[in-house]
Amino acid sequence: MDLSDLRSLSYAVVDVETTGTRLREDRIMEIGIVHVREGVATTALDVLVNPQCPVSRWSTRITGIRWEMLHEAPTFGDIADRVMEALEGHVFVAHNARFDWRFLNRELRRVTGRVLRPNTHRLCTVKFARKLLTHLLRRNLDSLAWHYEVPIIGRHRAGGDARATAQVLLRMLADARRQDIDTWEQLTAFIRAPRSTPRYSALPQPVTIENVA
């Protein structure tokens, strides 16, 4: 993969909806993958998944996905090859990438015995936004979409969130280029750099008096 120019890279923007948040007990029930290359976003995968386990009330309330929508859907084992093919050779991108990465690896290991390559290049748009958009009070997907005027059609559904994240990614990369961040190495260094402004404690502090005379 040529890392010399961010514009030459191909990105796989991923979002998964799960039956809950417990990695060891819950399963993926929907997955969306959107390819981004040369400024164009294309949906590669958008599918409901039979998790073969109950869906928590919390997940149904957030996503609107009910068991009745899933019992005839393919299992993760049925689509594992399609998932691997959609991710192969791309930078893995997600909003809170650690969550999606861990659930995908858990499912892949369970049904195929394989996992995503540890050296896969990954980009978390939450971490990216924390460094790039320091003026925003929040960096959740709704806030970033509002900032960039990106509509989210199907919020908390894998395909809708992945497509919105892909459009946000394109705009963030454009903003980064305006700060002379053009390569993968520059981008990762930018994200990993220490904060330029100090964090202040939220704990009560003693009153101090300054002599201004």
- Can you give the pLDDT at residue 118? 84
pLDDT, tens digit, 9 for 90 and up, residues 103-113: 999 999 999 99
- Can you give the pLDDT at residue 2? 65
Q: Give the residue ranges of DSSP H helices in 69-183.
A: 76-87, 97-112, 125-132, 141-148, 158-178
- Can you give the pLDDT at residue 198? 45
To which residue do tokens 């409901």 refer? 48
- Alpha-carbon distance 23 to 187, whole Å? 29
- Can you give the pLDDT at residue 200? 42
- Alpha-carbon distance 148 to 173, whole Å? 12
- Can you give the pLDDT at residue 194? 87
In this prediction, the residues of the chain whose per-residue pLDDT falls under 50 are: 198-206, 208-213
CATH 1.20.120.530 fits 6-192, yes or no: no
- Can you give the pLDDT at residue 212? 46
- Alpha-carbon distance 59 to 67, whole Å? 11
Which residues 6+ apart lie within 8 Å of 97 measured at CB? 14, 122, 123, 124, 125, 126, 127
Domain boundary assignment for the chain? 6-192
- Alpha-carbon distance 108 to 105, whole Å? 5
182 phi and psi angles, rounded to 5 deg: -115, -20
pLDDT, tens digit, 9 for 90 and up, residues 71-104: 999 999 999 999 999 999 999 999 999 999 999 9
Tokens of 8: 């030459």
Which strands form 40-48's sheet, in the order they lie side by side?
40-48, 28-37, 10-18, 91-94, 122-124
pTM of the model: 0.89
